[in-house]
Structure 1
C-alpha cells in the first residue's frame, strides 16, 4: 500500500542507523537469570531492583487475591471498580511514604499523564528538567501548558527561567525525575524545594527509580532528603523495585482528592487487577520488615561499578546502582549488546531517542537478586567484549 510506504522507509533508516529496536522474548520469570530467545542468560537489564518480581511471598499474595476477588475489577475506579483492596493499598502507600494521601493508577506513565493534565492548563507554565522521562514530557504536552526547560539538575538554571517567565502565567509547576533512569543521577530535590517555596510553585517529583532504592527501606527520594509533607506530588510506579505493575501518586491530600475527580486515566480506564494490588501490598510488607534487599542492591551496585571502572569503562556519573556503560554511537552499542548475548549476558543497548544522539550505552541494571558469582561472570564478559571491540 503506497500510503504506508513512508513507514517502510523509516524502518529501513532506523536499521541502517543502528536505531532499530530488536525486541527479545523472555520464556521465564524475572530474576538474575532468564530464558531469552530460548537461551539461559545472566540478566543485566531488568528494572527488578530488589528481585521481588518472582518472590514466593509476592506470588502467594497474588494467588490469594485471585481466589478472593477474581481476575479483574470489571470497571473504572469511579463507577464500580474500587475494591477494598485498592483503598488498602493506597492507605499503605501513604503510610509508607509518610504522605497525607495516595491514589493509584494503571501505570507510572498513566500517573504522570493524569496528574499533570489535572493540575495545569493552557494559561499555566511547567518548569521541567531537560532530561525528564518521556511520560512527563507527554503529560506536559497534553496539558497544553507552556513548557520551559531548565538545565539538568541545575537549581540556578531553574531559578533563572522562573524569573524570566514571571508574570506570564496563572499557575506554575516544577517537575523533575527523582532518579534519572538513563544516567542514575539524583535530582537535587532539597534545592528545588527551596526554589518552589520561594516562588510559591507546585513541586512534583517522579520517583519511579528511587522507590525501593533511596531512603529508609526504599521509601524513596522524599525520604532521602527528609522532605516529608513538603513535596506536593510524588509519582511512583510498582513496576520496578516493587516487581509488579501500576502507578501511584502520593502527597498533598487536596491534590489526591482532586485527582479522584479529574485524573483521566483514573476516570476512564479500568482499575488495576486485584492480584497485582495484593502483590504491591506484599512488597510494602517486605520493605517495612527489613532493609536486607535494599542493602544488598547497593552493595552489588558498588561492587559492579568499581569493577567496570577498574577495567577502564566510562560509567558516567551515576549515584545509584544504575550503571551506564557509555559507548557513544548506536551501532557500537548494538554490536556490544549482541556480543554480550553471545557470551551469556543479557544487556540491551540504549540509543536515540531514549538518550541523546552520541550517548548510546549499555545500561546495566544491578539487582539484589544477583550473587557475587553473577557479578563476576558479568564483569568477565564485559571485559572480554570491551577488549574485542576496542572499547577498553
Structure 2
C-alpha cells in the first residue's frame, strides 16, 4: 500500500469508531461567547479560567510587547532572550514561591524537556496513569524505567516506589496537580510524604492549577501552594501561560540550581526559538492582574459552586470535583458526540472528549467554567443539559 492508502485506511477506521476529530474554526479567541460558522455560541470548552485572554489590559500589553519585535529571532541561548523574558521569569518565581523560573514555548515542551534533562536510562520515573500526554511522552523519551500507578492510589504509588528503589537509580514522581480531563486534584500532601520516605523527587504539572488556586501567601500559584508544599517538597513545578493566564507558553519553577541546569540540558529549550516578546509581555500583564484582582478567583469559585448546585438539583451526573473542569461521563463515544452536537444546536459549545485522550468507555462532556461567565450563561447551560441528557443516557444504554 502507498503512504496515502495506509493513512486513509487508518482515518477510515477512526471515523468508524466515532473517534475522528474535526477542527472548529472560530472567528477569534473565545470569551464567554464566540462565533462559529456564522452563529454565536455560549462557550464552555475554553481553558481561559479567569477570562484574561480577552482582557483589554492583556491585549494592550501584547501590542506593546510586539514593538520589541514580532519574534525573538533565535533561541534563548543565542540572542532570543530579552529583558521582557527575564522580568516574566522573575514574576513567576515570586508568584510560585520558588527561587527561579524558566519560560518554554509550550507546556508540552516544558514537560518533555525537564524530564529528559533530569533522568536517563539508569533512573526511574513513577507516573499517575491519568497524567497528561506530555508527561507520558517525557517518560518514554527519557529512556528511564517507567512505572505507572493507579490514579491517585497511594498504595499503588508506594508499591511502584518500592520497585524503583529495588532497581536503583534516581526516582522522579510525576503527577498533574489538577487532572485535565477529570478535574480532580492529586493528593499532593500524601504523595510528597511518600517521596520523602523513598528519597524521590516530586514534579507537579500545574497547567490547570496555576492562576486558579493557591495559598494565602501565594494565592494563584496552584495546587502545590494550596497543599502547602515547599520548594524542597515539590522541587519541580511546571505551569502553563495559555490557560488561566490567557496567553501562550509555559514555565518551570524551582531552585536556582534546577533552572541553571535546564538552561544547559533541556533540549526543547536550547533548540527552540524563544517565546515571542508580545506573548511574554501579555503573560506578565496577566500575572499582574491575577495579583491585583483576587476577585477573579472568587468569581470563578462562585460560578463553580452555582453550576454544581444547579446540576445536582437537576440530577445531572457530575464527577466529584470543585475545579473549573466539570466532566459529565457518558461512556459511549457515539452518545457524547450526539450530545455535543445537540448542545451546539442549542447555542452551547462544550468539549466532547473521547479515547485516546481518555480511557475507553469514559467518553465525556468536558465542561469548563470561567470567571467571565455570568449567572445567565450558567442557567442557559444547565437548561440545555437538562433537556438533552436524559434522552442521551437512554441512547447510551
> Structure 2 length as normaliser, TM-score?
0.96
TM alignment of 1:164-175, pairs within 5 A: 164-175=163-174
Partner of 1:137: 136
SS of structure 2 residue aligned to 1:323: strand
Residue 4 of structure 1 deviates from its aligned partner by: 2.4
Partners in 1 of 2:158 and 2:57 — Cα distance?
Answer: 46
Residues 115 and 259, structure 1, Cα contact 8 Å, conserved in 2: yes
Deviations, residues 302-348 of structure 1 (Å, cap 9, x unaligned)? 11122222222221222312100111111100010000000000112
Q: Which residue of 2 aligns with 1:249?
A: 252
> Residue 372 of structure 2 corresponds to which residue in structure 1?
369
Deviations 1:121-145 (A, max 9, x none): 1111101111100000011111000
Residue pair 2:304, 2:322 contacting (<8 A) in 1 also: no
Mapped partners of 1:384, 1:97: distance in 2: 43
SS state of the match for residue 202, structure 2? strand
1:20-71: CA deviation from partner (whole Å, max 9, x where unpaired) = 112211112320000112210000001010000010010111111112x021
Structure 2 counterpart of 1:122: 121
Q: Does 1:29 align with 2:29?
A: yes
Provide the C-alpha distance between the structure 1 equivalents of 2:105 and 2:207, rounded to a whole number of angstroms.
14
Deviation of the 1:167 alpha carbon? 3.1
Distance (Å, rounded) in 2 between the aligned partners of 1:61 and 1:195? 43
- Three-state SS of the structure 1 residue aligned to 2:7 is helix
Q: State the alpha-carbon separation in 2 of the partners of residues 391 and 39 from structure 1.
A: 29
Distance 1:374 1:325 in 2: 18
Map 1:85-234; keep pairs closer than 5 Å.
Answer: 85-216=84-215, 217-230=219-232, 231-234=234-237
Q: Verify the 8 A CA contact 1:62 1:278 in the aligned structure 2.
A: yes
Shift of 1:169: 2.6
8 Å Cα contact 2:330-2:393 kept in structure 1: no
5+ residue gaps, structure 2? none
Change in Cα spacing, 1:64 to 1:165, as seen in structure 2 (3 Å) is: closer
What residue in structure 2 maps to residue 11 of structure 1? 11
- 1:391 to partner: Cα distance: 5.3
Q: 1:339 is matched with which residue?
A: 342
Structure 1 pair 291–391 and aligned structure 2 pair: CA distance change class (3 A): farther
Given the alignment of the two structures, is residue 309 of structure 1 paired with residue 303 of structure 2, yes or no?
no
SS in 2 for 1:210: coil
Equivalent pairs counted in the alignment come to 391
Contact 1:118 1:259 in 2 (8 A): yes
Using the TM superposition, give the Cα deviation of residue 358 of structure 1 relative to its aligned residue in structure 2, in angstroms. 0.7
Mapping for residues 37-48 of structure 1, pairs under 5 Å = 37-48=37-48
Contact 1:233 1:250 in 2 (8 A): yes
Q: Are the equivalent residues in 2 in contact too, given 1:313–1:391 (CA < 8 A)?
A: no
CA distance in 2, matches of 1:313, 1:226: 33
CA distance in 2, matches of 1:174, 1:302: 32
CA–CA distance in structure 2, aligned partners of residues 370 and 17 of structure 1: 34
Task: Give 3-state SS (helix, strand or coil) of 2:204's partner.
Answer: strand
TM-score, normalization by structure 1: 0.97
Structure 1 unmatched ranges of 5 or more: none
- 1:59 corresponding residue in structure 2: 59
Residue deviations 1:201-242, cap 9 Å, x none?
111000100011111432211210111222110001001000
Q: Does 1:73 align with 2:75?
A: no
Distance 2:151 2:47 in 1: 23
| TM superposition shift of 1:97 | 0.6
Q: Is the Cα–Cα contact under 8 Å of residues 239 and 245 in structure 1 kept in the other structure?
A: yes
In the TM superposition, residue 172 of structure 1 has moved relative to its aligned partner by 1.0
1:313–1:326 CA contact under 8 A, matched in 2: no
Q: How far is 1:390 from its partner?
A: 4.2
